Chains A and B, each alone.
Chain A
Amino acid sequence: MTHQAVLSWTASVDGGQYNVYRGTAAGAEGATPLNSTPITGTSYTDSTVVAGTTYYYVVETILNGVSSGKSNEVSGTIPIAPPTGLTLTVS
C-alpha cells in the first residue's frame, strides 16, 4: 500500500503561491520546500512518507517573490497498514 499525506489550506491573499515544508519534530521543518516550484493551488500531496512516522508540516505564501512566513503547523502519523491475507484453516 502506498502511503501519503494530503495537505490542504485556505488562501489568505489573491495571486499567491505556496511552499510546503516538512519535519519529523515539532517546529523543526526543513529549510527547503518539498515542492520544487511554488504551488499555485491550495493543496499538496506528499507521497514520500513512511508508515509509522509522525510528520509536521507548515506552508508559506509567496507573493511576487515575498514570503509570508509560516502558517500554523499540523502533524500526523502515517498509519501502519494491518497485515493482509489472514486466513483461517479449520481442520
Chain B
Amino acid sequence: MKNKSRAPLFIFLLVFLIAFLVGPAFAQHNVVLSWTASATVHGSPCPNPSKCAGGVYGPIGYNLYRVPWYGGSWQLLNSSPVATNCSGTTCAYTDLTVTGGLAYSYAYSAVDETNGGFSQPFTPATEVQDVVVPSSIGGQLAAPAISPIAGSYVGGQNISISVPAGAVACYTTNGTAPVASSAGTCSNGSQYAAPFLITSSLTVQAIATEAGYTNSVATSAAFTIRPPAPPTNLNMAPQ
C-alpha cells in the first residue's frame, strides 16, 4: 500500500514544432520540441489535501524522453525538469544530440513535486511523437577531385584527392565502392590523409563526407601503370 500519494500526472497533447536549424559554422542537426503547458500551475491549492504532499500540486517542470527506432530504452534528455523554457502556455526544448538519418520517438511527462522530480512514470503510448531527422541539412557535397587525371602512366604515380574544406575523403583502390556509414567515418575504404603511391594498374574511387551533409557521389579514376624502359648500352670494365 502506498503511503505517499501521487499528484496528478499531467499529460497534454504535445505540439511539436520540428525545426532543423542550419548553422553555417556548425552543420548540426537538432530537434525543437514544444508543448502546451499544464493548465494547472505549480503551487495551486490541492483540491484534496490528503493526497498532496505539502498541500500544493501542479507540475514543477517536464521531463523529455527519447528512444531511437533502431532500439534501446527510453532516455531522459534533460538533466533537471524543464520549467524555465515555458513562455505563456508554450514550453520548448531543443534536442541537440540527434544524428542525421535516424528516426526517434519522443515523449514527455510532467514532474510533480511529490515525486521528487525525476521518477515520474510516463506512458509513451499516449505521448510519443515520431521524428525522422533528415540525413542532410547542408545539401550534397561536391565530389572529390583525383589527381593526376585518369589514364596511362609510365612508372608509379602519387595520387592526391581533394574534397571541399571541412569534408574528408574515403577512398578505395580495390574496385569496391567507398562507403561512409556515418559522416566522416569510412566503413569501406580508407580515410585520405596524404598523397599515396600506386605502382600497379588500378581504379581509385573516392567520396566526400561531412557531418550535416549528404555524401558526395563517387569520383572514379582508372590508372594504367606501365613499366619504364630498362637502361641501354650497359657496359662493364673489369679492372
Q: Which residues of A contact B (CB under 8 A)?
A: 3-13, 15-16, 18, 42, 49, 55, 57-79
Contact = CB atoms under 8 A, between A and B. Distances in A.
Contacts of A3: 238-239
Q: Is the interface of A mostly helix, strand, loop or mixed?
A: strand
Contacts of B233: 9-10, 72
Interface string B224-239: 0111111111111111
Contact of A74 (B155, B199, B235): B235
Interface string B139-177: 000000000000000111110000000000000000000
A11 B237 contact: no
Count class of interface residues, chain B: 20 to 34
Indicate the member of B155, B158, B228, B229 with the most A CB atoms within 10 Å.
B228
A66 B230 contact: no
Given A42-B231, A70-B230, A5 B156 contact: no
A79 B239 contact: yes
A75 B154 CA distance: 29
Indicate the member of B197, B199, B228, B231 with the most A CB atoms within 10 Å.
B231
Given A66-B155, A66-B199, A74 B229 contact: no
B158 A64 contact: yes
A57 B238 CA distance: 12
Contacts of A78: 238-239
Interface of B: 154-158, 197, 199-200, 225-239
A47 B196 CA distance: 37
A68 B155 CA distance: 9
Contacts of A67: 227
Q: Which 4 A-B pairs have the closest CB atoms?
A: A63-B155, A64-B156, A12-B229, A63-B228
A78 B238 CA distance: 5
Indicate the member of B199, B225, B236 with the most A CB atoms within 10 Å.
B236
Nearest to A69: B230
B236 A7 contact: yes
Contacts of B227: 63, 66-69
Contacts of A6: 236-237, 239
A58 B34 CA distance: 80
28 contacts: A3-B238, A5-B239, A7-B235, A7-B236, A9-B232, A9-B233, A10-B231, A11-B231, A12-B228, A12-B232, A16-B228, A49-B238, A55-B236, A59-B230, A61-B230, A63-B156, A64-B157, A64-B197, A65-B156, A65-B197, A65-B199, A66-B156, A70-B230, A72-B234, A74-B235, A75-B236, A77-B238, A78-B239
